[in-house]
Amino acid sequence: MSDFETVAASENQAARRGPSGEPGAPNQVGVPQKPRSLAGDAWRDLRRKPIFWISLALVVLVAAMAAVPGLFTANDPRDCVLARQHAGPSGGAIFGYDFQGCDTYSRAVYGARASLLVGALSALLTGLIALAVGLLAGYFGRWVDAVLSRVIDIVLGIPLLLAAIVLLKRVNSDSSTVRISAVIFVLAVLGWTTAARVVRSSVITAKEQDYVAAARMLGAGDGRIMLRHILPNALAPAIVVLTIALGSFIAAEATLSFLGIGLRAPAISWGIDIDAGRVHMRESATPLLVPSVFLALTVLAFIMLGDAIRDAFDPKLR
Amino acid sequence: MFRFILRRLLQMVLAFFGTTLIVYALMFAGQGDPIQALAGERPVTAAQRAYLTEKFHLDRTGVGGFFYRYFDYLRNLLQGDLGQSLTGRSIGDILAAAWPVTVKLALIAMAVTILFGVTAGVLAGIRRASIFDNSTLLLTLLVLGIPTIVLAPLAQYLLGVRWQLFPPTAGADPDLYALLLPGIVLGSLSLATALRLTRTSVAENLRADYVRTARSKGLVKRRIVSVHVLRNSLIPVVTFLGVELGNLMSGAIITEGVFNIPGVGFNLFRGIRTEDGPLVVGIVSVLVVVYLVSNLVVDVLYAVLDPRIRYE
């Protein structure tokens, strides 16, 4: 199995030199000015891609919605009057009202907060676990690597949705804070493995470099070498993986809320609204369509962003 | 090879114990007085209490007792005795009725994946950077990015309710036509992945030395692609499809729930909704086993198909 991992490692070798500022190979074609780093090359590549700008704009828009939903809608998402059930657009409610008589658009705007919170925090937690495990396994090798790699294999072998169902069924509290933290925790505990493998393989290639040997000869300890010399090089590929993971965590949160084991009403989440809208789609489709489009665009934006950055950092495709 | 299979088997056994332990610990351990929980608000007589304690080995306390009951659960699981759901039906019976439907749905999804995904992947790989290649790449990105909870209700609404091309729900004892739309929705995700995998694999193999040799021998392009390149580039695709078959069987929770298909995923969906603990645990345990076994089969298949791969 280690054959694959070395292949993956050599693939990551190029992506390894990220925004950390480690100067890459000087550009041989250009006039001998300042040598351009791989990050600089990647940035030049990214700037020309419309997909990068579109997805970045979407991400910024959703982030703004999550931070200050009041900027996008004046209506209260919890102001629901049954008399307005499935009523058409009026007074700021540009997409009309849902089955409970709540403003569909306003609920979709306020739903961004839960999604982004879960996505960002679980990606952060995932990143921390992955960096710790990947660094230890890649740097120390031998039995540490053997044990940690088997742990990765086992966790990777657990189907995410099924495990999340079992874990979240245990959470009986209806408090929004408890449920949202539980979802974040569960997604992080189950989702760190891919990133950990990426970190591990970039650590393995980084620790063979001359500057690591130089640092060791100068008397640097294991901790210093890991944190100052190896970690910055393992960071770039990990961040790319985590950007894509962030999108899938948002989708996972919505799926769990849709099933009724993630967030629960009165919390506002796209997954909850899609489930509610689905039941009444024959009477009125907009309460289903609006949160669906919001969710799909957000997940797509993160995945496309990660994809574009990865392509820019992967010299194989140049 | 033998050593590899042995190692892989040991790893699976470990994963099996790990996951079942987690499932069991989370569902049943540390929940106060289980006998009182079973009885609800009613009082429990001393005789009943003694009987139930005896039956479920509750007299053994501490960590030892926990593992004793865990192995009880494992033994029952391996013997196919999954207990009863809260509605009093045997979970084994529910699953026996549900499996054929789920397998049928998974096979439809698989057929869709192979028919469209692999074919389009080969075409895109041969004509790399063409309009066809770029548009399929963008389309697959879209499919990969749209979660099933959006895709399934949307397909149901547009194709089932609005334009009425397909029946919107399947209901009891569904025929092939009713399962077609859910099958396409279920297969779309693996279709996109299979397409990308085939494309990359074909494009890489086209650059291989043996292709150059074949071309310099004067073989026509069609023969090079269909005999030399395809056989080599479909190896990762075949293994991916194997993993997907396992995924499709366990991953149909949303699709079966939305389209009302009485398969395994639908029962799990309902179990979650109705807070039916034993039903959820029973189904999840079985699905985890299916998933682990299918992963094992695929890994071994990989080594058999491609002798270049050496597992130490």
Query: Which residues of A are less than 8 Å from B253 in CB distance?
Result: 161, 259
Chain A residue with Cα closest to B28: A170
| Closest Cβ opposite residue B311 in set A1, A275, A299 | A1
The answer to the question of residue A258 being in a domain is: yes
Query: Which residues of B are less than 8 Å from A150 in CB distance?
Result: 11, 14
What percent of chain B is helix, strand and coil (3-state, nearest 5)?
A: 75, 0, 20
pLDDT tens profile A117-162 = 999 999 999 999 999 998 888 888 788 888 888 788 777 767 788 7
- Cα–Cα distance list, B214 to B170, B207, B208, B211, B222 (Å): 51, 12, 10, 5, 11
Q: Does A285 contact chain B (CB < 8 Å)?
A: yes
- Cα–Cα distance list, B59 to A3, A130, B42, B68, B218 (Å): 51, 42, 22, 11, 80
Say yes or no: ipTM exceeds 0.90.
no
Mutate to test the interface with B, among A172, A281, A293 (most CBs of B within 10 A): A281
The answer to the question of residue A17 being in a domain is: no
Q: Does B285 contact chain A (CB < 8 Å)?
A: no
Higher pLDDT, A265 or B191: B191
**Domain with A291 in it:** 38-317
All domains of chain B in start order, with CATH: 91-305 (1.10.3720.10)
Nearest Cα of chain A lies from the Cα of B100 at a distance, in angstroms, of 20
Q: Does B284 contact chain A (CB < 8 Å)?
A: yes
- Cα–Cα distance list, A101 to A91, A135, A284, A287, B134 (Å): 14, 52, 12, 10, 44
- Total domains in chain A come to 1
pLDDT tens profile A178-233 = 889 999 999 998 888 888 888 888 888 888 888 888 888 888 888 888 888 888 87
Supply the CATH number for residue A110's domain.
1.10.3720.10
The answer to the question of residue A126 being in a domain is: yes
| Closest Cβ opposite residue A292 in set B145, B154, B295 | B154
The verdict on a CB contact (< 8 Å) between A299 and B145 is: yes
Report how far residue B149's alpha carbon sits from residue A259's, in angstroms, rounded to the nearest whole number: 9
The answer to the question of residue A148 being in a domain is: yes
Q: What's this model's pTM, rounded to 2 decimal places?
A: 0.81
The tokens for B150 are 């959006």
Q: Does B51 contact chain A (CB < 8 Å)?
A: no
Other Cβ atoms closer than 10 A to B130:
12
The tokens for B207 are 């650059």
pLDDT tens profile B80-101 = 777 777 777 888 888 888 888 8
The answer to the question of residue A233 being in a domain is: yes
Mean local confidence (pLDDT), A80-103? 81
| Closest Cβ opposite residue A307 in set B15, B141, B156 | B141
Which residues have a Cβ under 8 Å from the Cβ of B140 and sit 6 or more positions away?
Answer: B191, B192, B193, B195, B196
The verdict on a CB contact (< 8 Å) between A300 and B145 is: yes
E strand or H helix at B232: helix B230-250
The answer to the question of residue A195 being in a domain is: yes
pLDDT tens profile B227-257 = 888 888 888 888 788 778 777 776 688 888 8
